[in-house]
Every structure is written in structure tokens, then in C-alpha cells.
A and B are shown apart, each in its own frame.
Chain A
């Protein structure tokens, strides 16, 4: 086991930490697929409104590679297909039947996985609809099925505030996890399993699988950060990654011959009562998760997928395919009287410019920017937190003047899109967003 020392990053101490308790939620009335939230996919619908689908029926495919199918996480009737601007498909809603039908997929036991050809295995995962779980660095698109990755990185615990913890979602499922690892070993010779928690659970149960221990700062856990610290040559750049929970899904697909829809989701944030882990399904409605846990009077922002990397979900939208976290914090649009002059005992900040550096307790935060956008003054705070040693202040300027080559030399593609540069910027510049969009443009140019 190798310890990865990352000097940079940041541990955000924000109020609303969920407990380790796991609650099994009941069945929602509907589930949904959100093609919009799947990176770089060009969906072609295979269903229309009012069609009947089973759990595991193909709902849409990728136009670029029709073998890449996305399956229905529920059995029932398609009630709504929601198009956004330029006919981007936002939501495909399935209203669940009382007893859902299941599509059948081939069952594999461990010996069969041991002996199967790699190509067949890839095919089985693709038809089983779980191929999108594999993502490829550096662009974080869905992994190319016909390529062999230099390595696959499995991350068990995310350090971003309020993500499911491995000891909760792996509890009682160690065997499944081991089976999943066998599948991954078949896909790549090099398999890295990383965690940031060196706790008894890890050392007792899955110690033999863990190859790297990361530090407990955000985003030391990110596969991109791990890769940045262990890679020795440019050939290793295109590693794949998959999250720990998704390894379980793979194993369930092969063990049960059914499209797995189980998800452990964390609900947290200051506006939630009873913050804990919830066992629910892929594509569950947000209202299903928040029911009875929040007061409707407060103006809450629903952040799906994590405080730093997630997206803003509407109150009646759904969990995405990848997201395992729902955080509710106040929107925070209020003006603050003489805010810059207050001692700030409760104001969360990485700097020591507020008295909050004396306050070690988790602080409440909202979505306020705490200031207006200003010109970059080259303070270098962003470079102090960037986990992959990009110099965001310089790289950002390269991008603004269209020097993309120079930005790439600076390590633009190593960017793990953690959002810390944006978080710390006192000029309130959207540094991470600029990087992300530039990466996206680079990717689209390659196609």
C-alpha cells in the first residue's frame, strides 16, 4: 500500500455532515434518465412517450457508437421526455409499475469471468448498460470500449463534502466487491484501488485490494490526482476510472443477470434533518429523497453530486446516473451589511483574514459569492490549492488570450475539475469553469 502525499488541496469544514446510518427508502413512483448529465453523449432515443419499458430496456443510445446503450432504471411507462434548448434531451421519466418487469442478461460466475475473453467481457458490460460507468481521463468521457487502458483506478471514498462512505455501501457486500474487482482485473493489467480512509473497516475487510492511501483533503481522492502523482510517462495519461460503488453494480449485473438499480446516496447539508446514507435507486426523484427531511419554507439549493463538482438540480428533478450525493444548503441571496469589516467568526475561509481561523467547528455556508467579480491580482491562492500543480492564474490568462497550446503545456488536461481554484479566488473569477470549458472544447475538436 502506497501513501500518496499531496501537499495541496483543501479540507472544507462545512456544517451538515451526514451520519453513517443507512436507511432503506421505499419505492419511488417514478425514476428518470438524464442524458444531459452524461458526458459528451449524443443521445438517440429508442423509446417514445407512453412506451412500456422493463428494468434494463434500452432507452437511448449514443449516436457516435450505437453499441453504447443506456438502459431504463425502472419498469413501467415512459410518461415524459423533456427537451431543453436545441432539443437536448434533459429528462426521460419512467413511471413505475407495481411489479416491474426485468430484462434478462447472461449470468457469469467467477470461473467464467476468469476464463472469458476480454472482448466478450466488454461486450457483456456494454449490453448490460454499465459501460458508461468507466470513464477515461483526462477528458472524463465514457471510456473507449475498443482500447486497452494503461490502468484502471477505483476510488472508494470521495473527500468532497458529503459523499457515501465505503464502510456504509460496502457493508455486507465484500464478496460482491471482490467479484467486481475480478472483472476489472480482466479489463486492465494494472488496477489501482485508492481510499483516503485508513480505518479499521478498510484494514479488516478489503486491505488486500487497496493499493493507494490518499490524504484526507479534497480532492486528493480524485483519480486524476492519483494519476498525476503516480504517472511516470505520458502513456499513462489515458487511464480509466470507476467509483467504488459502481464496481458493486458491475458485480450485481453479472451475478444476478439483472440490470442493477441500487444506489447508496448521501443526503446532507445544513437544511436537511436526519442527514444520513440512503439506500435508493438510480434516477430517483429528489423529492423522494428529501421527503420529510426538509422544511419547505426555506429557500434551498439542491446540489446533486457534491458541493464542488455537482450541479444545481430543480426541486422536482432526479438524481443522475453517476451522482451519489444530494446536498441542500441555503441559496443565500441576502446582502450583508458592512460584510467586509466584520470579524467573521462564523465565516468560512481558507485564509486567516477572518476570525474563523480560531473556530474549529463546522461552519454553515450558503451559495453566496461573498463579493463581486474583480480583475485577477495574481495573489496565487489558486496555485496554492491546485492538487495537480497547475498555475490556474497563469493558465487562465493563457486561455483568455487563446493560447491553448500554452495552456495545455501548463497542464490544462491534468485539471481534475475540482473547483478549488474557483472556491478560493478572492476576485471571484470562474477559473475552474474556464478550464473545464476549454477542456471540453479540446475534446470536441479531437473528434
Chain B
């Protein structure tokens, strides 16, 4: 520790004004503050400060992301080995998963940090911790077969267009990770949708491939067919509710397991870092949007839109809804700041997710679009609630 301090103290002069690497000061600062909380003291009142800073806050989000991340690694390896007909022991599967997922995460971090550092150097401010979360959220939403160059392009778009163009952390109105993913989704639809992208098949000659259908539950549900059969259709494809809940099925790297996302949600809500209002609002939104269609198809026994007949609870565990509403929608910068606005925002995300899933099967992953759409509305929601609040205040002018 003393040794590290000495290194930083001796090298600092190169990175300060007039030093050789003056332009790289943000890197130096970011590295130093990673190891040492700086000894800045309060200049005026309040003389003491809460121990919580952005580094801690963002590390809590990262800790909350560990369950879906680890499970995602396991699941990716598991699906890949099943499809390739390889052994599915824990170690083999984990190693396989690591081999697939780790490069994606590394590329996301490295490329993203390049942009962060570039903008921090030009703007002469320090590197914000927010990217630590963005850089991990983004890969977890991707299919495991994603080519690495697309990861690089996606995170670049997310960071540069989604965040830095608007002034950096705190000023972005879209969630940068989702912006990047949406870009990939529309720019390279073949790599982002369909049945084939969700599983890495490493051994093409194996017999496992033949019996393996790579479709995700969302794709299965969207298939045209008789509505009353949708659940049996899902069950036939191996997607019963428990399976969807636990998440051992092909899908995006981190988004399949609702259970793991819920674990993270508990931590986020307990520490008070993410808003429970958004999460619960989102769940309510899904249920409210999905129930009428479900009841209708129960009564009529028939429907032209198969998704309508899906049990509302299935909507909650399918696709990336849990991941999106827990980790993406609760990004404080792009979500509204007011409490009622948060309820409405969450509710609208849930509602829109189901609407998109039901009425637009071309975009099976509704939650991403719903969140981005509501991101746009969050300043407006805030505006209305603040104005409403101010009317109740006794003026003091």
C-alpha cells in the first residue's frame, strides 16, 4: 500500500500540467483514485460527508450484476456444449462460457474506456464511474454469438452518441448501454435476432446440432399458430415456467435468468441505489397489459395473435424483461427523478413491452425499445410532477 502510494507520488509530476503526459491525466487520476480514495477535505459546511460516493454506488450495481453475469457465463457454456454435443460438467461448461463471454466483456470495456478517456482528456474532466456499469451491462444484453467487432461498434455508439455527445455522464437522456444495443439491433438484425444467434455451436459435426432448435421462448411464442396451444407449444419447446424463471435456456448472455436478476434487485433495493418504484411499476405494467388479452383468449378460446394468449406471468420471465427493468430502467440519469413519475415510467415500460411483444412480432425484444422510448419521456414526466408539487407549496418570494 505504501509502495503503491510511492509509485503514484513519484509519477504524478508527469501527468500534471506541464508534464510529459499531461493529456493523459484522466487515466492517471482514474487509476490512482481506484486504489486510493483521495484525501480531499471539506472546505465549508457541511463539515462531514456521507461515506457513499459514486465509486461505491457504482460498485454496488456491479456487485448486483454478478449473479446474472456468472449465471450467464455458465448458461452460455451449457447451451453451447449441449448444442455441440460436448460434456456438460460444471467445469467444462464454465470454462466454455468464460471463453465465449470474457472476450465480449473485455472488448466492451476496452473500447468504451478508450472513448471515455478521449472525451475526458479533451473536456479536461475526470473519468466517470458510470461507465464501469455501462461497460458490463452492454455485453450482458448481447447474444453470445456476437462478433467482437460488432461489440466494439455497439459500445462506441452507446458511449459516444448515447452519452458523450450530450455532455457525458449525468446529461445523457438515453441509457447508453441500451442505445448501443438498439444500434446493433437495427444495424445488424441478422446477428441480433432469429433462432441461430443465441447459442455458440463449436462442433458442427456433432450430432447434437440436429436435435437442437435454437429458438428463444419469445420466438416460439411469436410463431403463428393456434392461440390456445401457445403454452403447450412453449412447453413442447422445453420452456415451462420454472425453466424460464431459472433461465437455463438460450438467450442473451445475462438476461435469461429471472431468478438471478431478482437476486440483484434485492441488493439494489436494499441499498437504496435503484428505485423499487420503477421495478414494481414495471411488473404491474406487464400484468395490466397482458391480462386483458389472456382473459379474452381464455373466453373465446381462439385468437389470431398467439402472444395474446400467453399467461401474464410468463411475460415477466420471458426475454430480457427482468434484466431490463431491474438494471436498465433504473439508471437514475435517464429515469425520472420524481417518485410518482417513477411509478408511471416503470408502469409504461412494462405496458409497452407487452404491447410491442404482442402487436409487433418483428421486434420480439420489446423491453429494450420500451425503455428507450420511456427514457425520452422521463423529463416530461418529471416536469409534470414538479409543476403539480409546486402548486401545493405555500409560495415564499
Q: For the complex, what is the distance from the CA of A87 to the CA of B218, rounded to whole Å?
A: 74
B380-397 with Cβ < 8 A to chain A: 382, 386, 389-390, 393-397
The proximity string for A residues 303-334 relative to B, scoring 1 for CB distances below 8 Å and 0 otherwise, is 10001111110000000000000010101111
Mark out the residues of chain A between 228 and 244 whose CB falls within 8 Å of any chain B CB in the assembled complex: 231-234, 236-237
CB-CB under 8 A for A377 and B169, given A234-B394, A332-B39, A413-B397: yes
Min Cβ gap B378→A in Å is 9
A233-B394, A375-B128, A375-B169 in contact; A380/B337 too (CB < 8 A)? yes
Count contacts on A: residues with CB < 8 A to the other chain: 78
B1 and A380: CB pair below 8 A? Answer: no
- Whether A368 pairs with B50 at a CB distance below 8 angstroms is no
| Cβ of B47 under 8 Å from chain A | yes
Whether the pair A377, B333 counts as a contact (CB closer than 8 A) is yes
Please state if B54 and A377 are interface contacts (CB–CB under 8 Å).
yes
Contact of A335 among B36, B45, B386, B394 (CB under 8 A): B36
* Nearest-neighbor residue (CB-CB) of B29 within chain A: A372
Interface residues on B, range: 35 or more
Residues of A within 8 A of B397 (CB): 234, 408, 413
Q: What would 17 A/B residue contacts be, using CB atoms closer than 8 Å?
A: A138-B396, A310-B47, A312-B47, A333-B41, A335-B36, A340-B55, A351-B271, A365-B48, A367-B48, A368-B40, A369-B42, A374-B169, A375-B169, A378-B337, A389-B393, A419-B45, A428-B49
| Chain B interface residues toward A at CB < 8 A | 1, 4-5, 33, 35-42, 44-57, 59-60, 126, 128-130, 168-171, 270-273, 332-333, 335, 337-338, 382, 386, 389-390, 393-397
Which residues in A have their C-beta under 8 angstroms from that of B386? 391, 394, 410
Q: Which of B39, B45, B168 contacts A309 (CB 8 A)?
A: B45
A-B contact sample (10 more), CB < 8 A, given A312-B47, A339-B36, A350-B52:
A341-B59, A353-B56, A353-B57, A370-B51, A371-B53, A374-B129, A413-B397, A419-B46, A424-B50, A428-B53
Instruction: Please report the C-alpha to C-alpha distance between residue A383 and residue B389 in the assembled complex, in whole angstroms.
Output: 13
Contacts of A433 in B (CB 8 A): 44-45
| B-side interface mostly | loop
Q: Is the CB of A348 within 8 A of B50?
A: yes
Q: Is the CB of A329 within 8 A of B394?
A: no
How many angstroms from the CA of A370 to the CA of B323 in the assembled complex? 31
Q: Check A377–B130 contact: CB distance below 8 A.
A: yes
Q: Interface SS of chain A: helix, strand, loop or mixed?
A: loop
Chain A's closest residue to B167 (CB) is: A375
Complexed CA–CA distance, A266 and B350 (Å): 55
With A337-B1, A341-B59, A374-B129 known to touch, is A422 a contact of B46 (CB < 8 Å)? yes
A35–chain B nearest beta-carbon distance, Å: 19
Q: What is the minimal beta-carbon distance from A395 to any residue of chain B, in angstroms? A: 10
Determine which of A233, A331, A337 lies in contact with B41 in the assembled complex, contact meaning CB atoms within 8 Å: A331
